C-alpha cells in the first residue's frame, strides 16, 4: 500500500432531478426532497409506470452555445455541464496545465436515444438525404468523453465505459487506476444519461421492472428496501468528479473532498437482467474493493447502496452486505439515493459517489425515502426517511448493472 499513488477528489459537479449544481442537489437530498414526478417529456398514459426523475431546471445555454445543443443529445449536454462545474470547482480555468497527464473517462448505459427518435421517422419516410450529419457522432458513445477532452484540452487516457447501471462507478474506478498506475495525474470521470423517453420507458415498462403503484403520488414511487416496493423509477442527469494525484493536489493547494481508496469490479455471469439472488458475487465485488483499499470490513461506517427498489436487487444486496460484514453489518448505515432521484442508469454511480464524498466531507448521510413498511428480509439500518448526522470516515458506493456487471468504490475521509 505504501507504494501506491494516492488519488483524491478535488472537484465535483452534477445535474440531477433535484437540481442543477452540486449544492442544490445536496441540500435537497439531505432535506428529504424528492425529484420524482409525473412524466412530462411525452404522453405516458399507455404505460403502467408514468413517473420519472426528470431534470427540471437545466438551461444548456448556461454552459454551452446553441450550436452544441443542436448537434448533440441531451445526455452529452448534461455531461458537459457537469464537467464544466467540476473543472471550475477544482480550481482550474480553461485548459489543463499539463494536458498529456490529464484524462477523461466517462460512462453511459444507453447513450444518445433522444437524438435518434426524430431520425427514425425520416428513415421511415425515405428521406435519407435529411438525416443529420451529427447522427453518426451521437452514435459513437465515446464522443461524450471526446467533447469534454476537447473542451479542456485533455490528451491523456481516454475511454467511454458502457457498463449499464455500473458505468459511472466503473468510469471512476478506471480513472482511479489510471492515476494510481502512473498513466495520468488527473482524470475527469463520471457518467451521464437521459433515458426518459418513449423508447426506453416503453421497453422497461414491458419488462415489468418499473414502479407502477404510485403514479398519483410520484414522490412515493421509489421505495428501496421497503416491503411495498414494486420496481425502480428512471432518472436522468450527470455526475462528474475530478480525480487527482494527492501530491499534485497538495502542491497546488487544492480543496480535497476525500480519497478514492479502492475499487472492485466483477460479473455475476448469471442472467441478462436479474442479479444473482444470493448476492455472492456482489459480496465478492465489495471484498475486492476493500482489499484494494487495504481496509478491513469493521472500518467501514456507511454504504451508499445500489438500492434500486426491485425485490431481487434489494434482497441480494442486503445478503451481500451481511456476507461481507457479518455482525458489523448491523452497525452500518446503508441508504439509497435512488429513493430521491430515481435510477440514473449510467450516471447513477457517479452521482452517488459525489453524494458519498459529500457525506465524508460534511458528516451527513442522506436518507432512504419512503421506507415505511420494513421488509423482514431487508433488516439493516437503511437511514429511513430523515438525513442523519454521522462522522463517516470510510464508505462504500455500490453499483450493480444489467448483464451482472458490478462495481464498488471505497471512499475515505482525509483529515484536514
Kindly state whether residues 347 and 229 are assigned to the same domain: no
Percent pLDDT > 90 in the chain is 88
**Is a pLDDT exceeding 70 seen at residue 156?**
yes
User: pLDDT-based confidence at 115, cuts 50/70/90?
Assistant: confident
* Same-domain check for residues 219 and 286: no
143 and 225 belong to one structural domain? yes
- The mean predicted confidence, pLDDT, of the chain is 95
Q: What φ, ψ does residue 210 adopt, rounded to 5°?
A: -105, 155
Q: Are residues 244 and 266 in the same domain?
A: no
Same domain, 300 and 235: no
Domain membership flag for residue 68:
yes
Per-position DSSP letters for 158-169, written without gaps between them:
EEEE--GGGHHH
Does residue 222 register a pLDDT over 80?
yes
Pairwise pLDDT comparison (123 vs 49), residue with the higher score: 49
Q: Which domain holds residue 95?
A: 8-251
246 in a structural domain: yes
Cα gap 161→184, rounded to integer Å: 17
277 band by pLDDT with thresholds 50, 70 and 90 = confident
Could you tell me if 350 and 200 are in contact, meaning their C-beta atoms sit under 8 angstroms apart? no
Final residue belonging to a domain, choices 227, 251, 275:
251
pLDDT at 31: 98
- The answer to whether residue 416 is domain-embedded is no
Q: How many helices (H) and strands (E) does the chain have?
A: 13, 15
Q: Taking 60 as the threshold, does the pLDDT of residue 374 lie above it?
A: yes
Catalytic-residue membership of 343: yes
Identify the active-site residue in 113, 158, 214, 343.
343
- Which DSSP state fits 367? P
Res 142: pLDDT: 87
Domain boundary (182, 216, 251) is at 251
Q: Is 181 a catalytic residue?
A: no
- Is this prediction's pTM over 0.85? yes
Task: Say whether both 270 and 398 belong to one domain.
Answer: yes
Residues 117 and 163 in one domain: yes
pLDDT of residue 3: 67
CB-CB neighbours of 1 under 10 Å: 8
Average pLDDT of the residues in 244-266: 97
Considering the domain architecture, whether residues 290 and 144 belong to the same structural domain is answered as no
CATH of the domain at 171: 3.40.47.10
Please say which residue of 251, 283, 302 terminates a domain. Answer: 251
Across the range 309-337, mean pLDDT stands at: 97
Q: Tell me: the pLDDT tens digits for 27-80?
A: 999 999 999 999 999 999 999 999 999 999 999 999 999 999 999 999 999 999
What's the number of domains the chain is made of?
A: 2
Distance CA 139, CA 296 (A): 43
Q: Where are the alpha helices (DSSP H) in 109-240?
A: 113-124, 135-139, 143-152, 167-180, 198-207
Task: Give Cβ neighbours of residue 79 (< 8 Å, ≥ 6 apart).
Answer: 106, 144, 147, 148, 190, 191, 192, 238, 240
Question: Could you confirm whether 214 is annotated as catalytic?
Answer: no
- pLDDT, tens only, 88-102: 999 999 889 899 999
234 phi, psi to nearest 5 deg = -75, 140
Say whether both 382 and 294 belong to one domain. Answer: yes
Give residue-wise pLDDT tens across range 168-214.
Answer: 999 999 999 999 999 999 999 999 999 999 999 999 999 999 999 99
Residue 1 pLDDT exceeds 80: no
Residue 254 in this model has a pLDDT that exceeds 70: yes
Closest CA to 74 of 30, 41, 36, 27: 41
Taking residues 352-374, what's their average pLDDT?
A: 98
Q: Residue 257 falls within a domain, yes or no? A: no
- Given the residues 158, 159, 214, 306, select the one marked as catalytic: 306
Question: Same domain for 243 and 321?
Answer: no
| Residue bearing the bigger pLDDT, 115 or 68 | 68
Q: Which of 116-125, 167-176, 333-342 has the lowest mean pLDDT?
A: 116-125
- Considering the candidates 49, 154, 160, 165, report the single residue annotated as catalytic: 165
Amino acid at each position: 500500500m505504501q507504494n501506491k499513488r494516492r488519488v483524491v477528489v478535488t472537484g465535483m459537479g452534477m445535474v440531477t432531478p433535484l437540481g442543477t449544481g452540486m449544492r442544490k442537489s445536496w441540500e435537497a437530498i439531505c432535506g428529504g426532497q424528492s425529484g420524482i414526478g409525473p412524466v412530462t417529456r411525452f404522453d405516458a398514459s399507455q404505460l403502467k409506470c408514468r413517473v420519472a426523475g426528470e431534470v427540471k431546471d437545466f438551461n444548456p445555454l448556461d454552459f454551452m452555445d446553441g450550436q452544441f445543443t443542436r448537434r448533440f443529445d441531451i445526455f452529452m449536454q448534461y455531461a458537459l455541464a457537469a464537467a464544466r462545474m467540476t473543472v471550475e470547482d477544482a480550481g482550474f480555468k480553461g485548459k489543463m496545465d499539463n494536458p498529456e497527464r490529464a484524462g477523461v473517462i466517462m460512462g453511459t448505459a444507453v447513450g444518445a436515444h433522444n437524438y435518434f427518435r426524430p431520425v427514425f421517422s425520416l428513415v421511415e419516410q425515405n428521406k435519407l438525404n435529411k438525416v443529420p450529419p451529427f447522427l453518426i457522432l451521437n452514435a459513437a458513445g465515446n464522443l461524450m468523453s471526446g467533447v469534454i477532452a476537447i473542451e479542456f484540452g485533455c490528451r491523456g487516457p481516454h475511454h467511454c465505459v458502457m457498463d449499464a447501471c455500473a458505468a459511472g462507478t466503473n468510469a471512476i474506478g478506471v480513472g482511479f487506476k489510471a492515476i494510481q498506475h502512473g498513466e495520468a495525474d488527473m482524470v475527469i470521470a463520471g457518467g451521464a444519461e437521459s433515458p426518459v423517453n418513449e423508447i426506453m420507458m416503453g421497453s422497461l415498462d414491458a419488462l415489468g421492472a418499473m414502479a407502477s403503484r404510485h403514479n398519483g403520488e410520484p414522490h412515493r414511487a421509489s421505495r428501496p428496501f421497503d416491503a411495498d416496493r414494486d420496481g425502480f423509477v428512471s432518472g436522468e442527469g450527470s455526475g462528474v468528479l475530478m480525480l487527482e494525484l494527492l501530491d499534485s493536489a497538495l502542491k497546488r493547494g487544492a480543496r480535497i473532498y476525500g480519497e478514492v481508496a479502492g475499487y472492485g469490479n466483477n460479473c455475476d455471469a448469471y442472467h441478462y437482467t436479474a442479479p444473482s439472488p444470493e448476492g455472492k458475487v456482489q459480496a465478492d465485488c465489495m471484498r475486492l474493493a476493500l482489499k484494494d483499499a487495504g481496509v478491513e470490513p469493521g472500518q467501514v461506517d456507511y454504504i451508499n447502496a445500489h438500492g434500486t427498489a426491485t425485490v431481487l436487487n434489494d434482497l441480494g444486496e442486503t445478503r451481500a452486505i451481511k456476507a461481507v460484514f457479518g455482525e458489523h453489518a448491523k452497525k452500518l448505515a446503508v441508504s439509497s439515493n435512488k429513493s430521491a432521484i430515481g435510477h440514473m442508469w449510467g450516471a447513477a454511480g457517479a452521482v452517488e459517489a459525489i453524494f458519498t464524498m459529500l457525506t465524508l466531507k460534511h458528516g451527513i448521510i442522506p436518507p432512504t425515502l419512503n421506507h415505511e413498511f420494513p421488509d423482514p428480509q431487508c433488516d439493516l439500518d437503511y437511514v429511513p426517511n430523515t438525513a442523519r448526522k454521522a462522522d463517516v470516515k470510510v464508505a462504500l458506493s455500490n453499483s450493480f448493472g444489467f448483464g451482472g456487471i458490478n462495481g464498488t468504490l471505497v471512499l475515505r475521509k482525509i483529515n484536514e
